[in-house]
């Protein structure tokens, strides 16, 4: 039975794991790393780069290097969060055909789901390389506070990548699974998850294999990227003050600043100070300019203190929703790379009144939890029951623009609820059901998930028709809504798609595009391997010919030189089949050269003893007969 993999699709880095011998195992990628940067780039020649290769060239190709796309997934172009992101990234954010936020790279527009799918493909290939078999099913994690549109867009990304997404699971819940798999004693824990782009807090009760989420809260636009941006602003403003040049207007300089900021942030978790040194960052009429700045841990803490404090309000709300006080939490589990920062740990300790648990790797624990859930769904992991919740309330717009809630936040999922409504006007023959997600009293202040019409209602006075609206949230947290006229039995049903979400046709087209990219990648890899093999063989054969040309006859030497020339021509042509064919032919004639050299050597060894004296003078093997004087 094919394995189901667990994927942590992160803002900054992604990770893949699988159950092996009853335990989750994180799989290393082709570069030997256990996490892969969630970065996709399009090179000038059209080549698509994913992960570390994409990150390496980001400074020289900022316009076409897409990072932190998770912050845009499932968002509208007009969303204030999107507008904020537009000012922070060097690549272009465009309005998609459906009003969603898309990105532009390599002269083409891509949906965030497509870009995420490229990263998921890399995770899929990493798992397949390790397992030695095709992988078609996965459990993918999302921030607990993701709304329906963001969850659906993540599921779409999996589909585009060629994966059947068996379950969308919340990141803090996944972390709790990995933390508590072998713990049988009942306790209440908090999972504090501060990652690259999002923040989540979840309160869970765990024990005897049951993991029940009591409450969750968070901020889907708060994470390590924001910490980096604070350092970038600090460096850029200082440089502008000293030199009068705004580095944020230069995309190449901005990308170098971002990389330096991330590096400095990481170093300051273990060091008290670090130096940012960026030579030739820019130039003016007086010549090149260099940026050299020492940043202390105190500087960093002062810059980001407001961001760290922003994590506490969701913590207070989650505790209130769970009906608990901070001192009733038995353990605080830290997740996400930003929780390595000493000041973050200090704030968490002060808030909860106890040292946070640091026994899990914050970069890998979410993928491990996803792998455990994959094992549960596959039947490999027994006696584990996961009870998650919906993070935001769901409801419909009723008369006066009021948000009438049907399912409250932190309701255990899957769940289903029905309620009967009626018409607002006499003889009304149709109603529009507008579905919202959020906590505000007025519908327009919440997130519109979608809308649909129920038509063909028989004429009747207002308030008489009975329209039953049913909300159904599946285990992925994805919403289905139906409306039924109880008088006629007519029913209209939709899977909520964000009003700008991808249609099935869009997804099918993107799947084909992804497959085409995969084919192109295979072709490029085949070309590179054939070229490397051919060039290596040419080099080796030329060296052997130079060393041993006098030991073979002229006709064989000419044959080898001709084969080398043909292989060089094939390399210039770039066709992998031709390169392999010519390289094979060259290997055959190179073998003839080896045989000829050995035959000549054997003939020399078999020559009359009279010639041996001369041979001894010429042959290095003579050293074997020297004596060692032990008395020296």
Per-residue DSSP letter, 28: P
User: Does the annotation mark 109 as catalytic?
Assistant: no
How crowded is residue 530: how many other Cβ atoms within 10 Å of its Cβ? 22
Catalytic residue among 85, 100, 125, 171: 171
CA dihedral 487, 492, 493, 498 (to 10 degrees): -130
Query: Which of 511, 419, 516 minimizes the C-alpha distance to 48?
Result: 516
Strand duo 164-170 + 187-194: pairing: unpaired
Distance of CA 207 to the CA centre of its chain: 31
User: Does the annotation mark 8 as catalytic?
Assistant: yes
The 10 Å CB-count burial string (b at 16+, else e) for 29-68 is beeeebbbbbbbbbbeeeebbbbbbbbebbbebbbbbbbb
Phi-psi category of 68—alpha, beta or left, where left has phi over 0 and alpha has psi -120 to 50? left
CA dihedral 575, 581, 582, 584 (to 10 degrees): 140
Residue 93 sits at φ, ψ, to 5 deg, of -105, 125
End-to-end Cα distance, the chain: 71
* Four-residue CA torsion sign, 267, 271, 273, 275: negative
Strand (E) or helix (H) holding 601: helix 576-605
User: Does the annotation mark 171 as catalytic?
Assistant: yes
Per-residue DSSP letter, 340: G
Catalytic residue among 148, 156, 193, 262: 193
Catalytic residue among 3, 8, 331, 447: 8
Distance, CA of 580 to CA of 536 (rounded, Å): 12
257 burial (CB, 10 Å; 0-12 / 13-18 / 19+) is buried
* Structure tokens belonging to residue 279: 């030579």
173 burial (CB, 10 Å; 0-12 / 13-18 / 19+) is buried
Distance, CA of 542 to CA of 563 (rounded, Å): 11
H-assigned helices in 32-77? 52-56
User: Does the annotation mark 70 as catalytic?
Assistant: yes
Catalytic residue among 70, 230, 265, 447: 70
566 burial (CB, 10 Å; 0-12 / 13-18 / 19+) is middle
Residues designated catalytic: 8, 70, 171, 193
């Amino acid at each position: 039975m094919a394995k189901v993999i667990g994927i942590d699709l992160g803002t900054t880095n992604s990770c893949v794991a699988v159950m092996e011998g009853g335990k989750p195992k994180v799989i290393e990628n082709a570069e030997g790393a256990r996490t892969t940067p969630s970065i996709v780039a399009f090179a000038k020649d059209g080549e698509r780069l994913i992960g570390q290769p994409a990150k390496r060239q980001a400074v020289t190709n900022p316009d076409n290097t897409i990072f932190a796309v998770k912050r845009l997934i499932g968002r509208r172009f007009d969303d204030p969060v999107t507008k904020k992101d537009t000012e922070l990234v060097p690549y272009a954010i465009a309005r998609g055909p459906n009003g969603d936020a898309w990105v532009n790279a390599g002269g083409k527009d891509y949906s965030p789901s497509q870009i995420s799918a490229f990263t998921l493909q890399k995770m899929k290939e990493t798992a397949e390389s390790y397992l030695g078999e095709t992988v078609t099913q996965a459990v993918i994690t999302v921030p607990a506070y993701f709304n329906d549109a963001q969850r659906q867009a993540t599921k779409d990304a999996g589909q585009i990548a060629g994966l059947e997404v068996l379950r969308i699971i919340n990141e803090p819940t996944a972390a709790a699974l990995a933390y508590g798999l072998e713990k049988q004693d009942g306790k209440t824990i908090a999972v504090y998850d501060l990652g690259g782009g999002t923040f989540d807090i979840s309160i869970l009760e765990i024990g005897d294999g049951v993991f029940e989420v009591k409450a969750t809260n968070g901020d889907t636009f708060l994470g390590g990227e924001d910490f980096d941006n604070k350092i970038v602003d600090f460096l850029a403003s200082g440089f502008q003050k000293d030199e009068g040049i705004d580095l944020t207007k230069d995309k190449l300089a901005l990308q170098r600043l971002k990389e330096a900021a991330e590096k400095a942030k990481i170093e300051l978790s273990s060091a008290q100070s670090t130096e940012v040194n960026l030579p030739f960052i820019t130039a003016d009429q007086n010549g090149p300019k260099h940026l050299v700045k020492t940043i202390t841990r105190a500087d960093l803490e002062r810059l980001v203190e407001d961001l760290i404090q922003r994590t506490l309000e969701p913590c207070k709300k989650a505790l209130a929703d769970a009906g608990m006080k901070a001192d009733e939490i038995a353990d605080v589990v830290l997740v996400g790379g930003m929780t390595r920062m000493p000041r973050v740990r200090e704030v968490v300790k002060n808030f909860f009144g106890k040292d946070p648990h640091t026994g899990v790797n914050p970069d890998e624990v979410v993928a491990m939890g996803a792998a455990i859930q994959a094992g549960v769904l596959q039947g490999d992991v027994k006696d584990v029951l996961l009870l998650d919740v919906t993070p935001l309330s769901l409801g419909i717009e009723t008369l006066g623009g009021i948000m009438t809630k049907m399912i409250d936040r932190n309701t255990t999922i899957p769940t289903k609820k029905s309620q009967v409504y009626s018409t607002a006007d006499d003889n009304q023959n149709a109603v529009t059901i507008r579905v919202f997600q959020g906590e505000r009293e007025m519908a327009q202040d919440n997130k519109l998930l979608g809308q649909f019409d129920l038509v063909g209602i028989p004429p009747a006075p207002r308030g008489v028709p009975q329209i039953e609206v049913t909300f159904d949230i599946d285990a992925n947290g994805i919403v289905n809504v139906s409306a039924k006229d109880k008088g006629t039995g007519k029913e209209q049903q939709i899977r909520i798609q964000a009003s700008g979400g991808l249609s099935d046709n869009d997804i099918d087209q993107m799947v084909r595009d992804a497959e085409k990219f995969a084919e192109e990648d295979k072709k490029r890899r085949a070309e590179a391997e054939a070229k490397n093999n051919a060039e290596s063989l040419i080099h080796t054969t030329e060296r052997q010919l130079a060393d041993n040309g006098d030991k073979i006859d002229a006709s064989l030497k000419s044959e080898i030189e001709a084969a080398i020339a043909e292989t060089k021509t094939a390399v210039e042509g770039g066709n992998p089949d031709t390169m392999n064919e010519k390289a094979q032919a060259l290997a055959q004639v190179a073998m003839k050269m080896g045989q000829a050299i050995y035959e000549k050597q054997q003939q020399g060894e078999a020559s009359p003893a009279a010639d041996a004296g001369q041979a001894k003078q010429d042959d290095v093997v003579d050293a074997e007969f020297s004596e060692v004087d032990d008395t020296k």
